[in-house]
Amino acid sequence: MMIIPQLTIQYETYPLNDSFVKDWEKIAESAPAANVFSSLIWQETGFSHFAPGKETLIPIRFLNDKGQTVAMVLMRETKRKSFGFTVKTWRTVDFNSMRIPVILGIDIPCIAGALKILYKEAGDFVDEFKFYKLDPLNDGLDEIIKALCECGISVEHEIFNIQPQLILPDDWNDYYYSHKKTFWKTIRYMKNKLGRDYGEVFFKRIRTLDDWHNTDLNKIINDIFSVYSNSWQNTQREESSILSFKQITSFYRDLITKLAYKGVLDLNIMCAGDKICAFDLNIIEGKTIIALFGTYNQEFQQYSPGKVLLANWLKNSHLQGDKLIEFGGDYLEYKRLWTNFETTSRYISFPGKTKLAKVKLLLRRLNKLLKSK
């Protein structure tokens, strides 16, 4: 059984002060599942570009009995109307993230302690707590959920997303021969045909700090946005998304500008003649590459430019010693053509202790009871 430490809450104000930033960065050095998506740069950038105007950010510290900060979190406060009532929700800051820790803490018990005191104290005035896109922490998240339930907190949990992964073998040929010959033959044919029709096909990878320092940042950003503007993703966004072209491109411009010189960005570009056909922007986490934002110009659709580019940088990643390639959770069937494993991101929620929260919890339990009969 997990022993949950007794923590206390310390609320802070936004914008963040230097002390909060410093302590966040210190804990993130060894916190379970800490990554670029849980960094303040990522979370604040996402919030500034995508959060509705009425949302607010709430920075929180969790202190142990010695007054030391052992866990931290940024929560989004949202409000919505439901049956005439205003529902107040505290939830994760997860814009364009993949897997993030539920709370940034020094260890699993402290994460559980932070969630417990969050419910105990903030639950008096918050109707519900929701945490999305969570790293499973191996089995740590399940341990946390079990410990909270044993404390009487009604935690709902489920898989949020399936994320395909490619575990690169030591020998590239092992991966090569795991696909049919026609798979690679088609890619070679498309590359050669593209070259005949548009000019020499070449690839560029901007990955190291030297690469980024030798790159015209504004030009390369404008170049990839010009590809995105003529992509099927942008067409789909225009038809169905509430996000504007400006929101998406301004977010990535801001993010690339902030991260380009920190050694965590990897940009792959494929050109034919003097035209950029496709790009893939990735995150570097040690020996892991996380596919983030990429597409191709629809003018070149018949040449399968996305596949040609992906095949190139996957092999190059293997040569550079990368061990794991992770893809996001959309378009699974396409991604599973390239991958040999998959992981999950998770979602958990629990109600507060307000009158509204108690009514909703009662209705939920009654609904489960009726369904079980």
Q: What is the pLDDT of residues 147-194, one digit of tens each?
A: 999 999 999 999 999 999 999 999 999 999 999 999 999 999 999 999
CA 154 to chain centroid, in Å, comes to 26
**Residues with Cβ within 8 Å of residue 328, at least 6 apart in sequence:** 98, 161, 163, 291, 292
d(CA 59, CA 186): 51
DSSP letter string, 285-335: ETTEEEEEEEEE-GGGGGG-HHHHHHHHHHHHHHHTT--EEE--SSSHHHH
Q: Is 285 exposed, middle or buried (0-12, 13-18, 19+ CB in 10 A)?
A: middle
Query: Given the DSSP bridges, would you call strands 324-326 and 288-296 parallel, antiparallel or unpaired?
Result: parallel
Please give the domain boundaries of the chain with CATH numbers for all domains: 8-162+344-372 (3.40.630.30), 169-322 (3.40.630)
pTM here is 0.93
pLDDT by residue for the chain (373 residues), tens digit each? 799 999 999 999 999 999 999 999 999 999 999 999 999 999 999 999 999 888 999 999 999 999 999 999 999 999 998 878 899 999 999 999 999 999 999 999 999 999 999 999 999 999 999 999 999 999 999 999 999 999 999 999 999 999 999 999 999 999 999 999 999 999 999 999 999 999 999 999 999 999 999 999 999 999 999 999 999 999 999 988 788 999 999 999 999 999 999 999 999 999 999 999 999 999 999 999 999 999 999 999 999 999 999 999 999 999 999 999 999 877 778 899 999 999 999 999 999 999 999 988 888 888 777 777 6
Q: What type of residue is 11?
A: Y
